Structure 1
């Protein structure tokens, strides 16, 4: 048995060759190999990519009904965690996108980090999905994120220069009619793969929350907002939420976001578990890249669930 296992697994010999040289049937060779695994003579270990928790990734993927999940081990400083999540998100995008796709990018810190690690993707159109925000400590904008990704791709970029948040709904309505803004937002309906960040409705966890007045923040809290994806707000149960802020945003519509076949959400940071669960329940996420801390929260939220859902 040991000799058969050694020749097959270490020597790379086929079952037929082993059977012929040892004067036994190939069926007996197969039985001996099965026995070797059952008795522990042979142990097979599947090792995932370095820095990725394959077991938690698969558990979350299965129970939350997602297409792909990548859980990045977070045993380092916050800055290094951001870089790891960015690399992992770039890797997943490169794996999923094809030359027939249209890529849409919503600005967030996490999406910015992803684009910084993007080495190669097919030549596809790249669409800016939302207006720009000035964020302390960040030297990029939604326009730059889309144009940098388009340079990597070699495809056409659809961008516009407009803020994400306007003072009132009337001003936002006028700006949406601007030709460049209208063209890009119309093109969002053609997007087949989007990369978005998940923001939680609390300080430091959402660039939109941080950019709003205290009154707007309070209105969102009163309406039950748990988080937002590209300005599309939802509560902890996954119900989409409208507030006075909704009509002041220059971003793709909830209908457009829900129609995108593949939405890769990327999330890191503290206390984002509820927001990630809400985004999944709302149907805004099809694949997820996240950290150990958030993954642990997602697994804990499952409790004793064994039905394959996160309801």
Structure 2
């Protein structure tokens, strides 16, 4: 039944006392001379009749609604969606890197081993100087531009220095000229040591690229024949060098044997894998990575988040169970 005017006033009084004045149900019941259970029923009625409406606001710079929807749809342990204007990829990468640093600050403990793979968006982590709990910081991939390691090595060292942890780096390219060269590089003591530590990593941060021009640093740096052959074998994207198909399954390709870095099987064994991705055109590759269970965390922006949810809905995907990870 529709409440009478007097009842509406009572609903408003109870709601104001409870929600705005922060009074307990027991105190309200005592003042009004009614039971605490009736107070609870009145509060339920106030919401049902629209006397009380609840709005969950996102803090400035974040879209919490999209973040929650991503968690529920893909079973993610961690999801953060930033609201970003179209200021260009460099600005977006810096923003995502800063947010990644903030996530790690709240996630990493002294008992962790942090693994960092190559991703252009992660430069902002080091630039921000976000200090995390001191722990070993391990390089998971070779360098992008060559054996000088001007990118990923600097990232690992900067994060370790900010936290007081120990950096574990090696000098090797991300992609070797051929499989034989890659095998030789993997035998080097520093590379072998990093590979052994990769199996002890508890938290990893990776990037996701689509297997298309300008959407993957690896795609752009290999020769056309390798690009085409990898495409023919079903590649849709790569997770910091681990090549995947449309189902998120790691692919064993001739190019894979040339890549110096973490493998899909290693990613699957890591407790928490935070992926950083941007660009709406990468949606199919990011969707594959999420569906394949190789990552259980995503830091992204509103445009890509909406594209992922739209694509998943069109494909008839339902909410996934949360991938297990340690309680923190």
Whether the TM-score (by the shorter chain) exceeds 0.5 is yes
> 2:23 aligned with 1:39, yes or no?
no
**Is 1:93 equivalent to 2:104 in the alignment?**
yes
Distance 2:203 2:126 in 1: 14
Distance in 2 (CA, whole Å) between partners of 1:298 and 1:253 is 24
Aligned equivalents of 1:65 and 1:173: distance in 2?
36
RMSD: 2.1
CA–CA distance in structure 2, aligned partners of residues 112 and 88 of structure 1: 12
**Is structure 2 residue 214 aligned with structure 1 residue 211?**
no
What are the Cα deviations for residues 10-60 of structure 1, in whole angstroms up to 9, with x where unaligned?
Answer: 212222222223333222222222222222222221112222222222222
1-structure distance, mates of 2:19, 2:264: 52
Deviation at residue 235 of structure 1 after TM alignment: 1.3
Where do residues 21-100 of structure 1 align in structure 2 (5 Å cutoff)?
Answer: 21-78=31-88, 79-100=90-111
TM-score by length of 1: 0.91
Q: Structure 1: 5+ residue runs without aligned partners? A: none
CA deviation string 1:236-277 (max 9, x = no partner): 122321222111121123322221111000100241011101
**Deviation (angstroms), 1:144:** 0.7
Q: Is the 8 A contact 1:112 1:140 kept in 2?
A: no
C-alpha distance in structure 1 between counterparts of 2:309 and 2:263, whole Å = 30
Partner Cα separation in structure 1 for residue 212 and residue 237 of structure 2: 8
Give TM-score scaled by structure 2 length.
0.87
Structure-2 change in CA distance of 1:238 and 1:155 (3 Å):
same
For residues 106-157 of structure 1, give each alpha carbon's deviation from its aligned partner in whole angstroms, at most 9, with x where no partner exists: 011112223333523211111000111129xxx9511011111111221111
2:153 is the alignment partner of 1:113: no
- In 2 relative to 1, CA 36–227 (structure 1 residues): closer, same or farther, beyond 3 Å? same
CA distance in 1, matches of 2:163, 2:301: 27
1:204 CA drift (Å): 1.5
Q: Distance in 1 between matches of 2:43 and 2:293?
A: 45
The correspondence of residues 1-311 of structure 1 with structure 2, limited to 5 A, is: 1=10, 2-78=12-88, 79-134=90-145, 140-302=150-312, 303=314, 305=316, 307-309=318-320
Note closer, same or farther for the CA distance 1:282–1:304 as it changes in structure 2 (3 Å cut): closer
- Deviation of 1:194 after TM superposition, in Å, equals 0.3
SS in 1 for 2:290: helix
CA distance in 1, matches of 2:130, 2:283: 30
CA distance in structure 1 between the aligned counterparts of 2:80 and 2:48, rounded to whole angstroms: 31
How has the CA–CA distance of structure 1 residues 304 and 42 changed in structure 2, closer, same or farther, with 3 Å as cutoff?
A: farther
- Paired residues, what number? 307
In structure 1, distance between residues paired with 2:292 and 2:44: 45
Deviation, 1:81, is 2.4
Mapped contact 1:106–1:129 kept (Cα < 8 A): yes
- Aligned partners of 2:24 and 2:292: how far apart in 1? 50
Distance across 1 between alignment mates of 2:280 and 2:40: 50
Per the TM alignment, residue 65 of structure 1 is displaced from its structure 2 partner at its CA by 1.9
Moved over 4 A (4+): none
**Are the aligned partners of 2:119 and 2:207 in contact in 1 as well (CA < 8 Å)?**
yes
In the alignment, structure 2 segments of 5+ residues that lack a partner are: 1-9, 322-328
Distance 1:81 1:247, change over 3 A: same
Evaluate the alpha carbon distance shift between residue 80 and residue 175 of structure 1 in structure 2; reply closer, same or farther with a 3 A threshold: closer
Structure 1 Cα separation of the partners of residues 186 and 32 of structure 2: 77
Shift of the 192–17 alpha-carbon distance from structure 1 to 2, 3 Å rule, reads same
